[in-house]
């Protein structure tokens, strides 16, 4: 299934990037406050390589002992490589993952044997526990814990302070045993550094980490939390994927990588942690202690307001002997989350089609913060079908509950072409008939345009051709050049004006 060898750790992926000319070292001292983000942003916008800052300058003026890696997923090609496939096979992987989500029983021996790659991927999700973990080569506890020695960036001028932006935050519900990895949740939540041994965990109520925290809160107990930094690409991307709540991101990473993920017992917590990460921060999150998190620049392109979130007391920092610190920034697209979102858009399409079969294509415009707007083309067959698709999409996956506008077009419209969309809106949509408004629906907590935090309206626009009871007028016929005339023109111009084909 994979086009690339398994990348067991971040270093393996960086070696591949280096070997393909996609890694650049910056030996000049660069401040982790503001400067590094400015450099990263310009390289990302140019479609540039992974960056390795060898002399990250901390706020005190000293250089950190560990290099900083940024722009890891700054191109769609590298995101696909992190998933193990070439871009042209992205839809194939999407179909494979859709089948894993809802497998159908095999039809005879031949069909069963043809599904061996799927069986192999399922077996690869079984975790392997090791006693010797690279992520625990150095163990710092008690007075040795100092978050200030990690080159955590302060990204934007009005940010409240250093912000960890690529943490894989690992939690388990209170009723799960420490070795029950299938019950674990791994999410990418931002984490603000408060001081040398405290962090703020920003997880929204609907996220898995917050749900686990509530299970501990209800018993008045603090929750063990591990933050894995610098994980392998499969773990990083699995933690960002919109997986079903019943699927553990940590074990699902094995299906992506084609290898069994390795774990080790945490040093100060009843948790298992990734054995091949660059670094792990261990600690306990209080059931009631909070601190104001933010403001921070966010993916919307604005600063979000400071709000209270749970505090984590760090009990240990473990890392490799020569650790790398993986970082990124979030801001108005383009940024790495938006680029990852482009790939996930294509990856999710087979799953969407499995539940909404009439969907032909789907586009989440990156400029619209990746998921705030969706354009979906359908194979329309009956009146009201566009509205049914809108409502199905809003209720299908958690991230679509935050999509404030859905535009539905016919399958002859390219949903990723703004000119096509504008033409469909101008010629197939009447505002008084084809706009559906909903009130008081779930919305991204960070969307300050919402009338109430976490609660807002939604708009659906039916820009499809109208059929049956949807209209009483004769509907227009789309003009098209006859195929034989188009072929004649192409042949003639290839001889008279060959430069047009260059």
Q: pLDDT, tens digit, for every residue of 254-274?
A: 878 878 899 999 999 999 999
User: Tens of pLDDT along 308-329?
Assistant: 999 999 999 999 999 999 999 9
Residue 109 has pLDDT above 80, yes or no: no
Topology (CATH level 3) of domain 10-326: Pnp Oxidase; Chain A (2.30.110)
Q: Which residues are catalytic?
A: 298
Percent of the chain with pLDDT over 90: 75
- The pLDDT, as a whole number, for residue 398 is 73
Q: Where are the alpha helices (DSSP H) in 125-270?
A: 208-217, 233-240, 249-257
Q: How far apart are CA 406 and CA 420, in angstroms?
A: 15
Sequence-distant (6+) residues with CB within 8 A of 81 are: 4, 13, 16, 233
Cβ atoms of 309 and 191 within 8 Å: the answer is no
Sequence-distant (6+) residues with CB within 8 A of 342 are: 76, 79, 364, 366, 370
User: Tens of pLDDT along 367-420?
Assistant: 998 789 999 999 999 999 999 999 999 988 777 888 999 999 999 999 999 999
Q: How far apart are CA 225 and CA 294, in angstroms?
A: 21
- The pLDDT, as a whole number, for residue 9 is 96
The CATH class given to the 356-470 domain equals: alpha beta
Q: How far apart are CA 17 and CA 232, in angstroms?
A: 13
User: Hey, where are the domains in the chain?
Assistant: 10-326, 356-470
């Amino acid at each position: 299934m994979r086009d690339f060898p398994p990348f067991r750790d971040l270093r393996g992926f960086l070696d591949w990037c280096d070997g393909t000319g996609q890694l650049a070292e910056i030996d000049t001292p660069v401040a982790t406050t503001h400067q590094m983000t400015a450099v990263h942003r310009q390289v990302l916008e140019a479609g540039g390589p992974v960056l390795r800052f060898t002399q990250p300058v901390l706020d005190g003026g000293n250089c950190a002992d560990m290099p900083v890696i940024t722009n890891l997923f700054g191109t769609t090609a590298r995101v696909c490589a992190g998933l193990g496939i070439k871009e042209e096979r992205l839809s194939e992987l999407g179909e494979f993952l859709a089948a894993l989500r809802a497998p159908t029983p095999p039809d005879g021996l031949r069909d069963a044997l043809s599904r061996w790659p799927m069986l192999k991927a399922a077996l690869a999700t079984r975790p392997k526990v090791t006693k010797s973990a690279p992520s625990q080569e150095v163990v710092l506890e008690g007075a040795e814990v100092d978050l200030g020695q990690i080159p955590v960036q302060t990204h934007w001028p009005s940010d409240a302070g250093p912000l960890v932006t690529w943490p894989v935050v690992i939690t388990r519900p209170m009723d799960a045993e420490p070795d029950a990895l299938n019950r674990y949740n791994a999410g990418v939540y931002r984490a603000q550094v408060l001081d040398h041994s405290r962090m703020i965990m920003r997880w929204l109520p609907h996220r898995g980490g917050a749900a686990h925290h509530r299970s501990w809160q209800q018993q008045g107990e603090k929750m063990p939390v591990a933050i894995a930094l610098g994980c392998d690409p499969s773990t990083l991307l699995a933690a960002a994927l919109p997986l079903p709540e019943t699927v553990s991101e940590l074990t699902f990473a094995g299906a992506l990588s084609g290898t069994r993920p390795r774990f080790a017992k945490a040093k100060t917590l009843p948790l298992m942690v990734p054995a091949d990460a660059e670094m792990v921060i261990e600690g306990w999150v209080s059931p009631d202690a909070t601190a104001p998190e933010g403001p921070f620049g966010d993916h919307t392109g604005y600063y979000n307001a400071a709000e209270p979130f749970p505090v984590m007391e760090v009990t240990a920092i473990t890392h490799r002997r020569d650790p790398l610190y993986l970082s990124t920034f979030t801001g108005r697209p383009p940024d790495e989350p938006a680029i990852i979102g482009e790939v996930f858009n294509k990856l999710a399409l087979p799953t969407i089609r499995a539940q909404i079969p009439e969907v032909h294509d789907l586009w989440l415009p990156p400029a619209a913060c990746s998921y705030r707007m969706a354009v979906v083309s359908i194979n329309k067959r009956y009146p009201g079908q566009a509205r049914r698709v809108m409502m199905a999409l809003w209720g299908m996956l958690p991230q679509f509950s935050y999509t404030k506008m859905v535009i539905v077009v016919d399958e002859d419209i390219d949903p990723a072409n703004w000119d096509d969309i504008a033409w469909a809106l101008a010629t197939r949509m009447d505002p008084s008939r084809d706009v559906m408004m909903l009130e008081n629906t779930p919305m991204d907590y960070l969307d300050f345009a919402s009338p109430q935090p976490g609660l807002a309206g939604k708009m659906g626009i039916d820009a499809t051709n109208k059929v049956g009871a949807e209209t009483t007028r004769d509907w227009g016929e789309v003009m098209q050049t006859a195929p034989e005339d188009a072929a004649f023109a192409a042949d003639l111009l290839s001889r008279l004006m060959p430069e047009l084909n260059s």
